[in-house]
């Protein structure tokens, strides 16, 4: 069988810095675990614009469609703020998401014990927290038509349309149920079926897909506002949460911050299965290009490293190897190794991006 293939798009700002640590780990898997990946690298974002006049070339796009997984760093930076909208670095990422049809966005919120004090919540509320929010990413109110700012009588009116088809709901529901089967067989679906027709349909379709195909998974429904409250009050009651684009945007940011620093948060965006059964997939840290610290060796690589762990689990069926990476991260944190973003008010000496990567490999 061919080696699993990865396309690395490190991008701009701290993207290449944090990705360098992932490349070390990929190398370690080859020499120490006999797990070899076919890795190619290419440009996305501002660096692609500098080289080719576009944030994503057709050739790179075609490569992304072929590989088993894309690993992305971050795109953008102040240098590119003046560019026309059509060639902005972020457009490169949007094109990838759209053409790969990555409709299911997985955002884990996991709290490492060593960082539980970082949360704004009480330690016992977040210690041991391990949940995943599945956000629908390609439809809903961010895309529905009609949209625009119109004139009605003698005033302006801003319009967006929340629109979901049955098949759009069903496919993201399946993605959440599949995830639940790999975890603890428990899904909570969130919408506003009390006030929105799209919410009524959402609840019906999620329930139907469940009853027909995933009756073994425990399914509950919750209104998204009540869900937000419960996420703050006692997040450990959840395991997998599935929700639409808008609510998922808000709920996943909120859940993420239960756990501490932006430098810790991975994500996966999945599409439909390819011929080999693997879902089209793009893995990236939640954080951006962080121009304020770029080029200084200060960035925390853990979000990018944990994104690679997600790739091992969801694209390559290597759950044990993924756990190996996650345990190593847990160990270095327990040992007190900290990049600057993880330093509390008590201070201390932070390690560099590359020292953090080395510590993870040693662990
Ligand atoms: P974008 O628009 O690309 O999402 P942003 O400005 O919203 O960018 P980030 O680029 O993620 O957000 O930066 C937000 C803040 O978090 C910055 O102060 C940045 O230095 C910090 N930050 C982000 N990622 C990391 C990281 N991996 N390690 C340390 N600090 C980080
Ligand atoms: Mg941002």
**Structure ipTM:** 0.94
| Confidence (pLDDT) at 51 | 98
Quick check: CB of 303 below 6 Å from ligand 1?
A: yes
Quick check: CB of 341 below 6 Å from ligand 1?
A: yes
User: Residue 149 pairs with which residues in a beta bridge?
Assistant: 158
Q: Is 285 annotated as a binding residue?
A: no
Quick check: CB of 300 below 6 Å from ligand 1?
A: yes
Q: How far is the CA of 210 from the centre of ligand 1 (A)?
A: 38
The answer to whether residues 300 and 317 touch, using CB atoms and an 8 Å cutoff, is no
- For residue 306, the Cα-to-chain-centroid distance in whole angstroms is 10
| Closest ligand, as measured to the CA of 292 | 1
Helices (H), the chain: 15-33, 46-52, 58-66, 89-99, 123-126, 166-182, 197-213, 224-233, 245-257, 302-314, 319-334, 353-362
| Minimum-distance ligand 1 atom for the alpha carbon of 301 | 27
Quick check: CB of 263 below 6 Å from ligand 1?
A: yes
Q: How far is the CA of 287 from the centre of ligand 2 (A)?
A: 7
Per residue in 112-153, pLDDT (tens digit) is: 888 887 777 788 888 889 999 999 999 999 999 999 999 999
Q: Is 358 annotated as a binding residue?
A: no
pTM of the model: 0.93
The answer to whether residues 268 and 287 touch, using CB atoms and an 8 Å cutoff, is no
Q: How far is the CA of 254 from the centre of ligand 2 (A)?
A: 14
Q: Is 157 annotated as a binding residue?
A: no
Between CA 84 and CA 93 the distance in angstroms is 16
User: Residue 362 pairs with which residues in a beta bridge?
Assistant: none
| Minimum-distance ligand 1 atom for the alpha carbon of 299 | 28
Per residue in 6-51, pLDDT (tens digit) is: 999 999 999 999 999 999 999 999 999 999 999 999 999 999 999 9
Per residue in 307-346, pLDDT (tens digit) is: 999 999 999 999 999 999 999 999 999 999 999 999 877 7
DSSP state of 119: S
């Amino acid at each position: 069988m061919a080696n699993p293939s990865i396309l690395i798009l490190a991008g701009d700002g701290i993207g290449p810095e944090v990705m360098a640590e992932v490349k070390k780990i990929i190398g370690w898997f080859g020499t120490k675990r006999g797990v070899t990946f076919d890795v190619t690298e290419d440009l996305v974002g501002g660096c692609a614009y500098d080289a080719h006049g576009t944030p994503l070339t057709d050739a790179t796009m075609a490569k992304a469609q072929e590989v088993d997984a894309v690993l992305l760093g971050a795109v953008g930076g102040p240098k590119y703020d003046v560019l026309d909208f059509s060639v902005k670095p972020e457009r490169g990422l949007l094109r990838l998401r759209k053409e790969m049809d990555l409709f299911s966005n997985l955002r884990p919120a996991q709290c490492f014990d060593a960082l539980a004090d970082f949360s704004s919540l009480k330690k016992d509320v977040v210690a041991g927290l391990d949940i995943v929010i599945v956000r629908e990413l390609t439809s809903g109110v961010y895309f529905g038509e009609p949209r625009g700012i119109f004139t009605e009588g003698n005033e302006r009116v801003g319009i967006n349309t929340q629109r979901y088809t049955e098949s759009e709901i069903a496919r993201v529901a399946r993605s959440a149920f599949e995830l639940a089967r790999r975890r603890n067989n428990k899904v909570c679906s969130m919408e506003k079926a009390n006030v929105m027709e799209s919410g009524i349909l959402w609840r019906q379709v999620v329930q139907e897909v469940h009853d027909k195909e995933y009756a073994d998974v425990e399914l509950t429904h919750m209104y998204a506002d009540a869900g937000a409250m419960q996420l703050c009050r006692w997040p450990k009651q959840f395991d997998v949460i599935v929700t639409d684009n808008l609510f998922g945007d808000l709920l996943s940011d909120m859940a993420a911050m239960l756990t501490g620093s932006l430098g810790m948060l991975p994500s996966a965006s999945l599409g439909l299965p390819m011929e080999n059964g693997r879902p089209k997939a793009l893995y990236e840290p939640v954080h951006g290009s962080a121009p304020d610290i770029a080029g200084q060796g200060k960035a925390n690589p853990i979000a990018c490293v944990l994104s690679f762990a997600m790739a091992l689990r969801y694209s390559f069926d290597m759950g044990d190897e993924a756990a190996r990476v996650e345990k190593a991260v847990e160990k270095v944190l327990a040992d007190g190794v900290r990049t600057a973003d993880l330093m509390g008010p008590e201070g201390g000496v932070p390690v560099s991006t590359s020292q953090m990567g080395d510590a993870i490999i040693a662990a």
